[in-house]
Amino acid sequence: MKKEDLGHLRKSYDKSTLEITDVKNDPMEFFKLWLAEAVEHPDIEEANAMSLATLGLDDFPKARVVLLKAFTSEGFVFYTNYQSEKGMAIDHHCKVGLSFFWPALERQVIVKGEAEKLAPEDSDAYFKSRPVGSQLGAIVSDQSKMISDRSIIEAKLEALEIQFENEVPKRPEHWGGYLVKPNCIEFWQGRANRLHDRIRCQLQSGFWNLERLAP
């Protein structure tokens, strides 16, 4: 395969600026503001999509996109199969990375933190709020396991649709939420000439320390 040169793909960033004073020593509140702007932007779909990076059992990092489903002053919440590759990776090494990218706003948010399982009752509450199809999908799929053909999971789904036609599915024990407690949150705002604004917030002794980084 010959080299594909992508050097001509360039974009100038000039939509906004970012100062330390904008963050006001509360990065989770500032994240709330940025996320709200991303949700309202007409050119951004799934503003809550984020890359989750983990260190696998093979000691290789792996990133994949998951959906942020809640956040509080404590951190960021997502849901998955605990027996999936990402679930086993978190059991192996709880330190993870999150990354949000909103091109239409020329912004990134980069998070480092530690993931822990939510309380079962919290996972139960979210599971009950999901559409029935999504509930059954969580029961059907042995996520990350090899299957010989898609028809296997489709047949399982059809059987469950009959089984739960008049019942409310319960959350399987292997499925639930994680809370990522951040110890570092970086806000990135694209600027002209690649001199981007970067504000890093590090949690130290219970307080956030803010500093500007060179682009």
Where in the sequence numbering do the catalytic residues fall?
Answer: 194
β-pairing, 49-55 with 95-102? antiparallel
**Residue 149 burial (10 A CB sphere; 0-12, 13-18, 19+):** exposed
Q: Tell me the DSSP string of 165-199.
A: TTSPPPPPTTEEEEEEEEEEEEEEE--GGG--EEE
Distances (CA, A) of 10 to 6, 46, 103, 192: 9, 24, 13, 12
Q: How far is residue 192's CA from residue 177's CA, in Å, rounded to a whole number? A: 39
Phi, psi of 57 (to 5 degrees): -65, -20
Q: Which residue has the tokens 């999504």?
A: 134
